[in-house]
């Protein structure tokens, strides 16, 4: 199989991307296209692994378009019979910022239903994939980002970022299937506290907790470590491996599959709540304010570093 | 909110208690009333946390009256919209000694049914509470004491006491919902062994196992540590936090709710068993004998300490 | 109770065995009969523990006859009211090699159905036994061997052997009830990886993982450590202990009991699959080739040891 590059989004794929891809056959290995679709797929022809890159700048906010593109990408990886998948991001600092709050704040409800349904699609396809999956978490990974990372079978994360299901902090409740993925990853008591506190763990805390498996110094090393994980399945018959994983996760999958409609309506009811709308509104205002103040914060931070010799890291444990 | 003190029991509340409470407004903080109801509630007006004190001397044996009072107290904490609850005991050495064996030994079966049903009430309300909960375990905490402690979201325990579901040692079986609380707290394999062995863990063993979260040198420090835990939820929207906890524990709650009647009858069938009656009878005799010999044991212990310089602690591990 | 020795197999029990047993009353303690049935039972009259020895040379391949004998042995241990059971093997290097592939490769389907049903019987009786169980794993313990070991409540293993559910490596899928036993033993995430990778853990890795509880230097020490574990239940009323264990494992048991027929047919469908037949055929050929080359391998190994001073152990972690 030759190195193919496919981009999925809700619009037609750009010609440019394909040209780029063709010109780099046999040269690039997992090098993300500079422009193009919302989700990029690079299949390494030597390993047979698909590198799937979330590519919706600046922070891969999971909106309807990105989720649809990701859902399609997961189909493609399955249909191409890739031997494994590595999920990463084209952003230098964010894996994904999680669900796009704009899909929840004063939404068009028809679109909001599609949005939630496409999130279900992604979870069902990723958590229930027969092919092995690993996440190269090359930036912050809150909420939906943590969810997708936990759906994978292995997680390698870059230092000094954060990961966690922080929904309660925004006044919302992570659904039961979010919880299921976390229960499948870390000890049950730790999961309960992480969920109620909405804890965002530092990379180092996440490693200690088992929420990530390894730390890598940069994206290339993270991808290499994911490849090393996938390589462990090289001699395992694929059909048996995939069926074993699916049987292991079967109960969680079944529970969402049997309640998709109700789960969508629960989401709609939730976002119709006044208090939640107020909370989301405030958060959006905060994000805008933060963005505007960013240059000032960076300047203060710069000056502070010049003055103070070495700031001690504050660690929080759960 | 002013510091209020309420006492719940099956009898009318003593006037004395209210007087005491009023005279100490703005002075006392979590100071237990010296006399009064079976369960005391002190709400700290600064933090909004309710300190709930089991107050049935000498050892907080969970009989129908105490369970009813505790169930009512849990309603009160919920209705008062307390921001959190700390559960502790007024006894200097016992958190609670667990279910009152007298409710099971040669019982009035109508009362025994009410007794078991009120225990279910307490579990459903405490394990399924929306407000955050922490236990300041200031003494021994066997059986039902361990159950209530595990229902809380955090546990701080004083040194040199014991905690565990020791039902098998008395010839009885901890119900599935007791087991659910333990499975939600410690690793599944450890829970199985703890349950079949009826292990009573020392404070230090319990910490290692994850059955308690912290050790405190005295009751005041235990309460302070519980407050520090509750404080972590200060900035988490309460509704989302509560709903997250309830969703996380939902399956366990549902299982008891859908089988309460059958569960009561199982209890009745169990205590009707001759062998169990014999076993309980023997245990009651042992407790009486132990009580009678207490002064002698204390004297021997005193003399031994005078003679031996320092006794090495015996540790048992599971 | 006098020391009794019973042997179970699908053929009549040998007179010789009984004679041997009688002549050794009050002398032998857990000494396996030199010849006889497929499964040996030695009840220690002092402790009341039954030592159950899988005795189908050379490697205790779990075929229909051995499974039937083991199922009968489990009934016997139950009916004899043994206070506990220790499961071990008469082979010097293998606990059991797991399911006999010959029962799956080009099988008589009527026999294959009986084979799978008898495996279900063994699991239901062992995993769901009221009496306490411990495994003295005195050799390799792949697949079905690991399954039976995990059904026990405690595991003591000799060094330098391997244990694990390695089904995926052979292209087959461990059923949900195999998985249930593993989930009841080790952390949920570790179980998933162990199952999809089909990992065979070294004794030392298994100890670290919690898949075994202790390491013993030889079979006698392993049995002694199992006895010490069983002895911890000495003062626990047996009925309460057994009912607690069964209630704890109830959900897993119920799930197989309610789907035994479908589970048999799933097995039949699986082994009818061409790819799996090919895979099994290749594996059988490999085993034959390995057997033929064994003397050569041993010679090479002998020479290598003479030449190299000390070979460093390679460790794999999951």
DSSP state of A8: E
Look at residue C36 in the predicted model and tell me its pLDDT.
Answer: 56
Report the alpha-carbon distance of residue C197 to residue A244 in Å, rounded.
10
Q: Is the pLDDT of residue B218 over 80?
A: yes
DSSP state of C103: G
Give CA torsion, residues B257, B263, B265, B269, to 10 deg: 180
CB atoms within 10 A of CB C92: 9
Nearest to residue A10, comparing CAs of A63, A50, A58? A63
Report the alpha-carbon distance of residue B151 to residue B133 in Å, rounded.
8
A102-131 pLDDT tens trace: 999 999 999 999 999 999 999 999 999 999
Interface A:C, Cβ pairs < 8 A: 59
CB atoms within 10 A of CB A215: 18
Nearest to residue B30, comparing CAs of B4, B58, B66, B67? B4
Residues A278-293 have a mean pLDDT of 86
Look at residue B309 in the predicted model and tell me its pLDDT.
Answer: 55
Q: Which single residue is written with the structure tokens 């074993």?
A: A244
Residues A39-54 have a mean pLDDT of 97
Confirm if C5 and C18 have CB atoms less than 8 A apart.
yes
- Residues of chain B by 3-state class (helix, strand, coil), percent to 5: 50, 15, 35
Q: Any catalytic annotation for residue C144? A: yes
| Model confidence, pTM | 0.84
Q: Which of B104, B143, B168, B195 should be substituted to probe chain C, the one whose Cβ sees the most C Cβ atoms within 10 Å? A: B168
**A279-288, B171-180, C5-14, C147-156, range with the lowest pLDDT:** C5-14
- CA C179 to chain A, closest CA, distance in angstroms equals 7
Indicate the helix (H) or strand (E) that contains C301. Answer: helix C274-307
Name the pLDDT band for B20 (thresholds 50, 70, 90).
very low
Nearest to residue B127, comparing CAs of B173, B61, B177, B81? B177
Q: Is the pLDDT of residue A293 over 50?
A: yes
DSSP state of B102: G
CA distances to B296, C101, C141, C182 from C147, in Å:
53, 16, 9, 8
Domain A19-234+243-302: give its CATH superfamily.
2-enoyl-CoA Hydratase; Chain A, domain 1 (3.90.226.10)
Look at residue C29 in the predicted model and tell me its pLDDT.
Answer: 44
B128-153 pLDDT tens trace: 999 999 999 999 999 999 999 999 99
Backbone φ and ψ for B198, nearest 5 degrees, come out as 60, 40
Q: Is the pLDDT of residue C71 over 60?
A: yes
Confirm if A152 and A87 have CB atoms less than 8 A apart.
yes
DSSP state of A130: S
Look at residue A33 in the predicted model and tell me its pLDDT.
Answer: 41
Chain-centroid distance of CA B306 in Å reads 35
Report the alpha-carbon distance of residue B143 to residue B149 in Å, rounded.
10
Tokens representing residue B93 in the block: 């050495």
Confirm if B13 and B6 have CB atoms less than 8 A apart.
yes
Residues B262-289 have a mean pLDDT of 90
In this prediction the ipTM stands at 0.83
Residues in A whose CB is inside 8 Å of some CB of C read 132, 153, 183-187, 210, 232-233, 235-237, 239-241, 243-245, 247-250
**In B, which residues are within 8 Å of A172 by CB distance?**
240
Look at residue B279 in the predicted model and tell me its pLDDT.
Answer: 82
Report the alpha-carbon distance of residue C262 to residue A256 in Å, rounded.
24
Tokens representing residue C225 in the block: 């450590």
Report the alpha-carbon distance of residue C291 to residue A117 in Å, rounded.
56
Average pLDDT score, chain C: 87
Report the alpha-carbon distance of residue A200 to residue A139 in Å, rounded.
13
Report the alpha-carbon distance of residue A175 to residue B250 in Å, rounded.
12
Tokens representing residue C254 in the block: 């119920």
Residues B256-266 have a mean pLDDT of 97
Residues in C whose CB is inside 8 Å of some CB of A read 167-176, 179, 187-189, 191-193, 195-198, 275, 279
* A33 conformational bin, left if phi > 0, alpha if psi -120 to 50, beta if neither: beta
Q: Is the pLDDT of residue B97 over 50?
A: yes
Indicate the helix (H) or strand (E) that contains B142. Answer: strand B141-142
Nearest to residue C265, comparing CAs of C99, C74, C120? C120
Confirm if A207 and A177 have CB atoms less than 8 A apart.
no
In chain B, the residue whose alpha carbon lies closest to the alpha carbon of A193 is: B153
Buried b (16+ CB within 10 A) or exposed e, A129-152: bebbbbbbbbbbbbbbbbbbbbbb
Closest residue to B189, CB basis, from C185, C241, C243: C185
Confirm if C8 and C30 have CB atoms less than 8 A apart.
no
Confirm if C38 and C72 have CB atoms less than 8 A apart.
no
Backbone φ and ψ for A47, nearest 5 degrees, come out as -95, -25
CB–CB contact C240 B197 (8 Å): no
Catalytic one of A103, A167, A205, A227? A167
Residues C139-146 have a mean pLDDT of 98
Residues B116-123 have a mean pLDDT of 98
Report the alpha-carbon distance of residue A161 to residue A159 in Å, rounded.
6
A296 or C107, higher pLDDT: C107
Interface A:B, Cβ pairs < 8 A: 57
Average pLDDT score, chain A: 87
Closest residue to C241, CB basis, from B189, B196, B275: B196
Catalytic one of B63, B166, B195, B230? B166
Catalytic one of C167, C170, C198, C207? C167
Closest residue to A169, CB basis, from B210, B236, B250: B236
Report the alpha-carbon distance of residue A310 to residue A308 in Å, rounded.
6
Look at residue A37 in the predicted model and tell me its pLDDT.
Answer: 93
- What lies within 8 Å, CB to CB, of C188 at 6+ separation is A183, A184
B219-230 pLDDT tens trace: 999 999 999 999
Q: Any catalytic annotation for residue A19? A: no
Closest residue to B167, CB basis, from C232, C233, C240: C240
Report the alpha-carbon distance of residue A245 to residue C133 in Å, rounded.
30
Q: Any catalytic annotation for residue A166? A: yes
Strands (E), chain C: 5-8, 39-43, 49-54, 84-89, 133-137, 141-142, 155-157, 162-164, 201-202, 214-215
Q: Any catalytic annotation for residue C166? A: yes
């Amino acid at each position: 199989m030759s190195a193919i590059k496919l981009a999925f989004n809700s619009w037609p794929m750009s010609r440019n991307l394909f040209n780029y891809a063709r010109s780099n056959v046999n040269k690039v290995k997992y090098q993300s296209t500079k422009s193009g679709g919302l989700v990029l797929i690079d299949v390494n022809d030597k390993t047979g692994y698909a590198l799937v890159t979330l590519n919706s700048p600046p922070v891969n906010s999971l909106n309807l378009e990105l989720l649809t593109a990701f859902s399609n990408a997961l189909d493609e990886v399955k249909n191409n019979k890739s031997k494994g998948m590595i999920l990463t991001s084209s952003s230098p600092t964010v894996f994904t910022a999680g669900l796009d709050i704009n899909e929840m704040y004063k939404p068009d409800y028809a679109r909001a239903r599609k949005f939630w349904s496409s999130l279900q699609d992604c979870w069902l396809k990723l958590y229930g994939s027969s092919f092995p999956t690993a996440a190269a978490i090359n930036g912050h990974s809150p909420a939906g980002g943590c969810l997708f990372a936990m759906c994978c079978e292995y997680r390698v994360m870059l230092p000094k970022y954060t990961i966690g299901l922080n929904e309660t902090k925004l006044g919302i409740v992570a659904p039961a299937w979010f919880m299921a993925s976390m229960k499948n990853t870390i000890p049950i008591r730790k999961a309960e506290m992480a969920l109620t506190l909405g804890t965002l763990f530092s990379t180092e805390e996440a490693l200690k907790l088992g929420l990530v498996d390894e730390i890598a110094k940069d994206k290339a090393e993270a991808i290499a470590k994911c490849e090393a994980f996938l390589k462990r399945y090289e001699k395992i018959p694929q059909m048996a491996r995939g069926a074993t994983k699916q049987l292991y996760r079967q109960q969680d999958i079944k529970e969402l599959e049997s309640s998709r409609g109700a789960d969508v309506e629960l989401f709609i009811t939730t976002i119709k709540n006044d208090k939640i709308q107020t909370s989301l509104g405030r958060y959006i205002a905060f994000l805008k304010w933060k963005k505007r103040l960013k240059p000032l914060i960076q300047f203060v931070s710069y000056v502070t570093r010049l003055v103070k010799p070495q700031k001690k890291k504050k660690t929080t444990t759960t």
